[in-house]
A = this chain, B = another copy of it.
Amino acid sequence: MLELEKAIEVLQEAAGPVKETELLPLAEAAGRVLAEDIRAAYDQPPFDRSPLDGYAVRGEDTLSASDQQPVSLQVLGKIYAGQVFTGTVDKGQCVRLMTGSPIPEGADAVVRQEDTDFKPGQDQAGQVNIFKGVAPWQNYVYAGEDYHKGDLLLEKGTVLKGMQLGIIAGSGRDQVEVYRQPVITVISTGDEVVAPGGPLEAGKIYDANRFTVLGRLADLGFRKLESCHCQDDPEIMEDRIREAAKRSDLIITTGGVSVGEKDIMHQVMADLHGDKLFWRVSLKPGAPTLAFLTGERSVPVICLTGNPYGVAVNFELLVRPVLEKMSGNPAVRSKTRQCRLVNDSPKRGGVRRFMRGSYDEEEGQVRILTGSHASGTLSSMAASNCLVEIPGNGSGRAGDKVRVYLL
């Protein structure tokens, strides 16, 4: 049996990152991974501008200004943000401007309107009195103060969140090259399993696994998902996987991996001439996980156990690292914490186990949820916010340091 870390390593090695890219409008690119460096096409700001409402002046004209002896300047005109004053400010002159207005030629500073005899609403006469002078380059925002043309703004591989989209828009781009999302196919198996929404015949159960996996993929931002259920018929399953391998980057199946007569996945792998990566991982639940590569594109097929709790646990431990590798998005990785266990684990020793827990971030501690821990039980997952790792070394008592995987 493979150690968990080794199984993850094997899977990550086998799963190539998706290299194809697509050009998306900015508003559709949130959460995607940048496939190009974003460099500034312009200085930011693109021109010297005013940081406040006031008057663009030649600083030296105003240095002597005071309440008692204001300096009177000739107002050449008024410009709002977005407008341009085409003349030049000469000695004794100024231009009224607003926050964000370009500073006109000849001016080298801006006097705040509060330091003049400007009154709101009152339009400017030809002269304005300055009561407080400014030195050259005071209240003056230089072109390129934020960044210069050619500067690297965002590196290839960056995950695009809102702030990054604002930066890209501000640099003038309305489209961006991102990696396409991996296409993922989920196939649940089991003759006893029927799709929810229909009647429940005797001996059957509803298909939780397909929706747990689809839902977790959606939680993590994956949207290119296909899924179906397949009876325990190796030939049909082979067809399903063969078809899926043509258009998918990853195939996840549930069920059929143990040693019973209906555990068809071994035969399916053999008949597909699959390239086996491993069978069985040293952990509970989900030990019989099988993984292989198939098809011309060597698509990874991760075959999870059929028990619903095992599916949930193995998705976190084994599938997420593969998704991280394929998508290049580190946010997909499980977040882990080291913390203190507040109660004894009901099971200890033997194989490494993963139990449902309730993690308290503030206190830095975790409680294993008691009640049903039967491996087929999914409903108690609703109350847990993490998985607690109980190592196989016999530890797992109240007070022990344990690792938790946040859900």
Contact = CB atoms under 8 A, between A and B. Distances in A.
Nearest to A175: B197
A270 B279 CA distance: 70
Contact of A27 (B84, B173, B227): B227
A161 B407 CA distance: 10
Contact of A261 (B80, B100, B161): B80
A372 B142 CA distance: 13
Contacts of A153: 379, 382
Interface size class, chain A: 35 or more
Contacts of A236: none
B376 A308 contact: no
A200 B42 CA distance: 9
Interface stretch (A68-76, A177-185, A210-218, A396-404): A210-218
Contacts of A289: none
Contacts of A77: none
B259 A163 contact: no
A25 to B, nearest CB: 9
B44 A215 contact: no
A46 to B, nearest CB: 6
A82 B204 contact: yes
Nearest to A222: B30
A262 B98 contact: yes
Contacts of A372: 145-146
Contacts of A192: 80-83, 100-101
Interface string A245-283: 000000000000011111000000000000000000000
Interface stretch (A12-20, A55-63, A164-172, A343-351): A164-172
A259 B173 CA distance: 31
A169 B208 contact: yes
21 contacts: A26-B214, A26-B215, A30-B218, A30-B219, A31-B218, A81-B203, A82-B190, A98-B261, A101-B192, A101-B203, A145-B374, A145-B377, A154-B382, A161-B407, A162-B212, A162-B312, A163-B312, A167-B382, A169-B196, A171-B206, A172-B206
